Structure 1
Amino acid sequence: MIKYNRVLLKLSGEALAGDKKTGFDEETCIGVAKQVKQLVDDGLQVSIVIGGGNFWRGRTSQTIDRTKADQIGMLATVMNCIYVSEIFRYVGISTEIYTPFQCGSMTKLFSKDSVTSCMKKGGVAFLAGGTGHPYFSTDTATVLRAVELDCDIILAARNIDGVYDSDPKQNPEAKKFDQIPMQKVLDDKLGIIDLSATVLCIENRMPMLLFGLSVDNSIVLAAKGKSNGTIITI
């Protein structure tokens, strides 16, 4: 049984790239689409934000102006949503792509009413372009949209299977949390999401479930409250 009524699914761009680390792994994307279709068919309302890390990591550049780097990142998320939206349509899901800025005929301008209508009709709404402003990450855009759309929870699918007390790639003894308060994430500077997104979650009481995308049936398990990831409580 699905635990939630409406969720925002945050997909890591890097996780969608699979072992290639860049671009898309089509098999991974089709697997995601099939899982979401199962949930939508069961009545779950789903919106999706996709990070742009499989194409662009502008903050690491010392030569490009931050505003321009962030604008490139916004467009990377638009490309991601166009591609993944088509994969969703391939498996039989109706989709719409929304951006906070005009993007020709490729997307629709974001509005809460339009996105809510899409989800209530059984479609999946892709929320591309971040907040539309520089200096805000897709983490912040994710929380902002989840709050705005009255979502029950953010389901964050990444290439790591939960929240740890230190980097498990650097520390083999790192401890994984089954559950952790968002305030502790902030106080201990765990860096799971950026500062503005963390504060926005706390202020608006928006919980999050962080889990590994590569785990079999991970999205379905997350939506049913059976994930082995980390619940970040408020």
Structure 2
Amino acid sequence: MYQRVLLKLSGEFLAGEGGTGIAPEATENLAREIKAAREASGVELSIVIGAGNLWRGTRNGASMDATTADYMGMLATVMNAMALQDALERQGCPTRVMTAIQMSQVAEPYIRRRAVRHLEKGRIVIFGGGTGNPFFTTDTTATLRALEIGAQVVLMAKSHVDGVYDSDPRKNPDATRFDTLTHRDVVDRGLEVMDMTAITLCMDKHLPLVVFDIFEPSNLQRLLAGERVGTLITSA
């Protein structure tokens, strides 16, 4: 169904039950799921990962200069990218970390053509360092990178939530899940899929999204194989 995709992960996925830090077992389990899905589908796979397990500017840096707090968050995404790269490569998956903030000792600088070439050669590319600018979330980073590399879809991985609901299903047992939505529906209903900058960019560029539960066994593999999983968000 897809030839090139971008997978958006939360940093908390690396933390396990503790919720903070990087848990080796949780990171290994995530890497195994990604490897199995990629090998079964043969897609060109890129990843953007957040840093909520290590740093949140709005919480940890509440008393700091906002720009400084955001840069610290961007650096934290590189730490997560390196941890995921290590886990993937121990599973036998060739992986490259590219970052918008130059740190040549640990990652390649983000260059669009080089990223595309890595994908064409069968390497998983993990984008760290956000956009390289403060005040933009990793949701926006995922949208920008997906558009730049020509990804056909952004896969928004969630933890134990199998799509988009009209209210929080963990608080409201009567919440209704949507099978499909439009970008405009997400904006008009105020649904918490991704930040407003990211969703409006997806809407403007007609970039589809799929919101799904990555912790449901084989969900990612089924999705890449073309099965309907989670909630599909399109322009029409």
Give me the TM-score of the superposition, normalised by structure 1: 0.94
Q: Which amino acid counterpart does residue 205 of structure 1 have in structure 2?
A: H
* Mapped pair 1:172 → 2:173: yes
> What is the distance in 2 between the residues matched to 1:204 and 1:24?
35
Q: 1:23 maps to what in 2?
A: 21
> What is the distance in 2 between the residues matched to 1:7 and 1:150?
8
> What is the distance in 2 between the residues matched to 1:89 and 1:79?
15
Q: 2:184 maps to what in 1?
A: 183
Q: Which amino acid counterpart does residue 193 of structure 1 have in structure 2?
A: M
Q: Runs in 1 of length 4+ with deviation above 4 angstroms?
A: none
> What is the distance in 2 between the residues matched to 1:102 and 1:62?
26
Q: 1:103 maps to what in 2?
A: 103
Q: Which runs of 5+ in 1 are unaligned?
A: none
Q: How far is 1:57 from its partner?
A: 1.5
| 8 A contact 1:40–1:122 mirrored in 2 | no
Query: Which deviates more from structure 2 when the two are superposed, residues 86-95 or residues 13-22?
Result: 13-22
| 8 A contact 1:5–1:152 mirrored in 2 | yes
Query: Which deviates more from structure 2 when the two are superposed, residues 74-83 or residues 8-17?
Result: 8-17
Q: 1:54 maps to what in 2?
A: 53
Give the match's secondary structure for 1:118.
helix
Give me the TM-score of the superposition, normalised by structure 2: 0.93
| 8 A contact 1:211–1:227 mirrored in 2 | no
Q: How far is 1:58 from its partner?
A: 1.3
Root-mean-square deviation (CA, aligned residues, Å) is 1.4
Q: 1:116 maps to what in 2?
A: 116
Q: 1:196 maps to what in 2?
A: 197
CA change 1:94–1:101 in 2 (3 A) is same
| 8 A contact 2:37–2:218 mirrored in 1 | no
Q: How far is 1:227 from its partner?
A: 4.8
> What is the distance in 2 between the residues matched to 1:43 and 1:211?
20
> What is the distance in 2 between the residues matched to 1:196 and 1:184?
15
Q: 1:7 maps to what in 2?
A: 5
| 8 A contact 2:167–2:175 mirrored in 1 | yes
What is the aligned residue count? 232
Q: 1:141 maps to what in 2?
A: 141
> What is the distance in 2 between the residues matched to 1:173 and 1:158?
19
| 8 A contact 1:32–1:219 mirrored in 2 | no
Identity %: 38
| 8 A contact 1:163–1:230 mirrored in 2 | yes
Q: Which amino acid counterpart does residue 232 of structure 1 have in structure 2?
A: I
Give the match's secondary structure for 1:15.
helix
